[in-house]
Amino acid sequence: AQSVTQPDIHITVSEGASLELRCNYSYGATPYLFWYVQSPGQGLQLLLKYFSGDTLVQGIKGFEAEFKRSQSSFNLRKPSVHWSDAAEYFCAVGFAGGGGADGLTFGKGTHLIIQP
Amino acid sequence: DAGVTQSPTHLIKTRGQQVTLRCSPKSGHDTVSWYQQALGQGPQFIFQYYEEEERQRGNFPDRFSGHQFPNYSSELNVNALLLGDSALYLCASSSRGGGYEQYFGPGTRLTVT
């Protein structure tokens, strides 16, 4: 069965500093990969996605992620964080079956705290 | 363009009762997936509906059932509620054949007392 590991439960970063959130997955086939962000009491917003092709993908709000097949990783990065980036971040993996998107498997999330 | 909508926003039920949650997908989407998010955890996949049929199911008991209507909207039903069913229930929609990304609604917060 597939699984997703986000090893950092909490990360604290100073405003303006760079950010990297880690995500490792275990999957039998080449998955498709996502990062979502969740603000308190809200649903999930899609930041970026990887299906195939270029392993460095750009997303919204200045985020990017790099797919490394050899390391089974899909780490999220941002060169300079803003206070509004404080939120819960989830990595998710899935598989395309039957022509559509299958149910996603999520990690437990990383809580990002921004210090002024 | 309306996104995914869910109702109600919050719900309080008693153990043993039954509950129905509702979801309207994003315009142009035909597939609805339901997830349960317990406090402090990532969402867990419950099941997915396409063409009014359950197409895929996660590791949830039969107490969890669903339905999809001809207009693609969906319901999640939970019978014989347990305290452990307290969670945020998220609906996500996608377009079969139109890409693999799923768009989430704001969720329904269910509290079982």
Q: What's the pLDDT at A76?
A: 98
Q: What's the pLDDT at B106?
A: 95
Please tell me the number of Cα atoms within 13 Å of B6 on its side-chain side.
27
Q: Is the pLDDT of residue A96 over 70?
A: no
pLDDT grade for B48, boundaries at 50, 70 and 90 = very high
Please compute Rg for chain A using Cα positions: 14
pLDDT grade for B16, boundaries at 50, 70 and 90 = very high
Residue of B54, B93, B100 to mutate for A, most A C-beta atoms under 10 A: B100
Q: What's the pLDDT at A43?
A: 86
Identify whether the C-beta of residue B79 lies closer than 8 Å to the C-beta of residue B18. Answer: yes
- Could you read off the pLDDT of A17-37 as tens digits, one per residue? 999 999 999 877 778 899 999
User: By CB neighbour count within 10 A (0-12 exposed, 13-18 middle, 19+ buried), where does A41 fall?
Assistant: exposed
Q: Is the pLDDT of residue B28 over 60?
A: yes
* Nearest chain B residue to A44, by CA: B104
Could you say which of B42, B56, B90 has the minimum Cβ distance to residue A102? Answer: B56
Residue of B5, B102, B103, B111 to mutate for A, most A C-beta atoms under 10 A: B102
Identify whether the C-beta of residue A114 lies closer than 8 Å to the C-beta of residue A17. Answer: no
Nearest to A6 by CA among A52, A51, A58, A65: A65
Q: Is the pLDDT of residue A75 over 80?
A: yes
User: By CB neighbour count within 10 A (0-12 exposed, 13-18 middle, 19+ buried), where does B60 fall?
Assistant: middle
Q: What's the pLDDT at A99?
A: 54
pLDDT grade for A102, boundaries at 50, 70 and 90 = confident
Q: What's the pLDDT at A40?
A: 84
